[in-house]
Chain A
């Protein structure tokens, strides 16, 4: 450190040293970092148990320095339910992508939310299946080209993209729902605040907390990280608006 200066930001100690495998600019990595910053700030590393999904973040347990379980595809909400029911004093989160949470695991997601399971969903919505090579997701936008919708998503054939925040905020037992992004420093700071609030509400026992991160996938979208930010602003946010859908402080 240079003389006369003080350290004001460094990688959280709750993030392991292992280099993350995510592509350059991927919000998965950003969200891992922000989540672990929250765990560090709240001093809950020894009380936190995470569940990671199948998809790009299948190796999340390699990076997050908390106890974790790797779930089968779509079942993270059920696994998190099992953990939290046995350990109501622990902080439990599921970390899931759109295919996991909103396609193959829709039943588990909906029912965990309806029961008000007192854990936090961290939901990465990047509108594509990244890990398997860019196939159509339940959240792929209308007209968006993927390897399994090479002519663009046709709503007549496969329906419109699912709006999970809008859906889960309908349940009485769900306490807090917010859609955030990491496309600017300001939004990344908001995302971190949202994750922190979710964990705090969970600690207060308010019910299900659900944070959707409107994410990018430069590799799957076949663009640069910078271009992916443009796509977010132009295409994603108009359909998936950022903001709070349910707030326990307004009850």
Chain B
């Protein structure tokens, strides 16, 4: 079954605070600790693209408004 939603993370805007990761109810997000953006910061990415429920929790908690959320059109 395709996911209900997905998110885009603006890599240069992410500061790697991890707040989206710990607030994702379906554990879809993670910090990419192997890479950094141009500010030298780890950034969040969609670890699991199949289970996003488009709840927007990550976008709401993200201080830097770096997350855009899409939902499956019904």
Contact = CB atoms under 8 A, between A and B. Distances in A.
Q: Direct contact between A and B in the complex (CB less than 8 angstroms)? A: yes
Interface of A: 1-2, 4-12, 15, 19-20, 22-30, 33, 182, 184-185, 188-189, 218, 224-226, 229
A11 B71 contact: no
A11 B9 CA distance: 11
Contacts of B60: 9, 185, 188-189
Contact of A9 (B23, B41, B56): B56
A188 B22 CA distance: 15
B12 to A, nearest CB: 7
- Chain B's interface size range is 20 to 34
A226 B65 contact: no
A72 B72 CA distance: 48
Contact of A185 (B17, B23, B73): B23
A26 B68 CA distance: 19
Nearest to A225: B17
B64 A20 contact: yes
A24 B72 contact: no
3 closest Cβ contacts across the A-B interface?
A25-B17, A29-B63, A24-B15
A229 B18 CA distance: 12
Contact of B73 (A4, A10, A29): A4
